[in-house]
Structure 1
């Protein structure tokens, strides 16, 4: 009888364990099935967007029940096309694009709901090392600028004018090179100065191809340089999803704010497999020091007005669009209160 009892007990124990494993596996599968898919189209792959990659790598999106598919769609026009055509749910792109779309008479405007970066992300790089740089030194020189109508170009011209330089009169300004080929053009000998994003600027400096001498981000002040946006209809029909998305971004922004450049670089390294870890650390530190990463997702009215001023100075503001027309801060304010 005792022998039978032991065998029965063992069988019962094994049965319980197997049932638990099956139940656990079923529960995990159900949780995975419940994850809501969100398609993000980012305008470029850049360390400048570190908080976004932190939200993915640290599992902040998954904590909110979201399954993120991230696609790089080079150029603001391509990113907006992806969003408007339904190829993406959310776009990470410069806020100026929402103004361009609105000015074309869209019945379903693109709304900025969470800001990611709050300064320009480009740097002035010279071919020769300059110890005591002044903006006056650019006069009469060949300057390799960014694409006309984009935020880098508009900020670049805004900063030049701020320092008394007329971009199209005082410089030999080159703007007919595609964004993806600007760095290569400079490396091959075009221009004496160039406006570059990181990590290219730091890589050039390390390789002796150029020298970082000024920051356009420091010079231009706070501006909604890159924001998450979605069509108005999508936000209205997916309020809870957008709230979860914004909460994940806010968690990432707070994480970035409270961690070192080295820790941030390690957290995002999977997105930049071909970039030297030391370069990544340098880039993150540079962006952190100049306050490029927004510490919360709220795009405030002063930043919006600064954006319009920069666009207007460049002759690229199609119409004056009120802050509340294309910016929704209710979601960000709600999640921050909690």
Structure 2
């Protein structure tokens, strides 16, 4: 047998072997198309972007289209109307809808910490939340979780919103009045927080440390969602979350890609902070404690009548297999 023939046979054998391996792969190798409607394009939702850009959904046989609704209610409405299989926003919106009879539940965790911080000008003396009394505080326009949590913290310390001079601004613009000196205290999300830190502001309160586990943002779906698509989606998200914990540099690179107009150093600092403080969860699981703490905030504000039933509201039939998978 000549060398040329041997080379041709080797090439054919390799091609056949590759075909056999590909054919013997998982039964869900063919892509299924699904859509997720996110409330906003947000740094908080980085686990979703890692799952998309890192190919974790693709490996589960899903072709996922991301849509941005502009608000949590609009994102959830996309699921209720059938224009999207999944939505991403605070679980309180789903709980309120379910309380009113909508057939929606939560199927996976995305943000598991109260991702809100209080920043101040560098010359502010801050020894505790009581120091904000009679001070001008800038915060996001209600309804928003950041301002709701600020109100909750005031109440827990014997104060009320009337004890501060609250300036409500559109979400994401809190840094303007703070840097301009119109207010020396601001209640903030990321990446605004680390944008402020880059300008010399200091972080004085971290709600993730205050409240621990907190179901802040999650994936919702109708109870009639295709179970196979839901299982694949949760499995892909779980693998993305594991990847984020062990590959912080690559995770930050994906964040920079998703937010190209932000300063790279700010993006890196925000990702590091949210990984370190447990804002980005280690798994898709949602514990009873995390749900209870989050829903208590909404009950206190009058948005929700009672705690949703954990065993039915959190759909563990998708979460448990994802946690068990290697």
Structure 2 matches for 1:239-250, cutoff 5 A? Answer: 239-250=227-238
Task: Give the TM-score of the pair, scaled to structure 1.
Answer: 0.82
Distance 1:159 1:249 in 2: 32
Match for residue 110 of structure 1 among 83, 86, 104: 104
Note if contact 2:105-2:313 (Cα within 8 Å) is conserved in structure 1: yes
Note if contact 2:292-2:307 (Cα within 8 Å) is conserved in structure 1: no
Distance 1:244 1:254 in 2: 16
Note if contact 1:41-1:73 (Cα within 8 Å) is conserved in structure 2: yes
Q: Over the residues paired in the alignment, what is the CA RMSD in angstroms?
A: 2.9
Distance 2:136 2:66 in 1: 37
Distance 2:156 2:273 in 1: 23
TM-aligned CA distance change 1:87 to 1:188, over 3 Å: farther
Question: How many residues are paired up?
Answer: 314
Note if contact 1:202-1:212 (Cα within 8 Å) is conserved in structure 2: no
Note if contact 2:255-2:267 (Cα within 8 Å) is conserved in structure 1: no
Note if contact 2:135-2:165 (Cα within 8 Å) is conserved in structure 1: yes
Distance 1:181 1:219 in 2: 24
1:262 positional shift: 2.7
Residue 170 in structure 1 maps to residue 170 in structure 2: no
Distance 1:80 1:183 in 2: 29
Residue deviations 1:213-244, cap 9 Å, x none? Answer: 2212222221110101111112xxx1111111
* Equivalence for 1:97: 93
Structure 2 matches for 1:220-231, cutoff 5 A? Answer: 220-231=211-222
SS at match of 2:113: coil
Residue 289 in structure 1 maps to residue 281 in structure 2: no
Note if contact 2:38-2:89 (Cα within 8 Å) is conserved in structure 1: yes
SS at match of 1:144: strand
* Equivalence for 1:277: 264
TM-aligned CA distance change 1:83 to 1:181, over 3 Å: farther
TM-aligned CA distance change 1:38 to 1:189, over 3 Å: farther
Structure 1 stretch 223-232 or stretch 155-164: which is displaced more?
A: 155-164
Task: Give the TM-score of the pair, scaled to structure 2.
Answer: 0.85
Structure 1 stretch 111-120 or stretch 132-141: which is displaced more?
A: 132-141
Distance 2:144 2:308 in 1: 18
Residue deviations 1:200-224, cap 9 Å, x none? Answer: 111122134x432221222222111
Residue deviations 1:40-60, cap 9 Å, x none? Answer: 111222222222222122211
Distance 2:158 2:212 in 1: 17
* Equivalence for 2:249: 262
Where do 5+ consecutive residues of structure 1 fail to align?
A: 1-5
Note if contact 1:157-1:314 (Cα within 8 Å) is conserved in structure 2: no
Distance 1:276 1:157 in 2: 31
Larger Rg: 1
* Equivalence for 1:3: none
Note if contact 1:96-1:151 (Cα within 8 Å) is conserved in structure 2: no
* Equivalence for 1:204: 196
Where do 5+ consecutive residues of structure 2 fail to align?
A: none
SS at match of 1:224: strand
TM-aligned CA distance change 1:181 to 1:306, over 3 Å: same
SS at match of 2:215: coil
Residue 148 in structure 1 maps to residue 142 in structure 2: yes
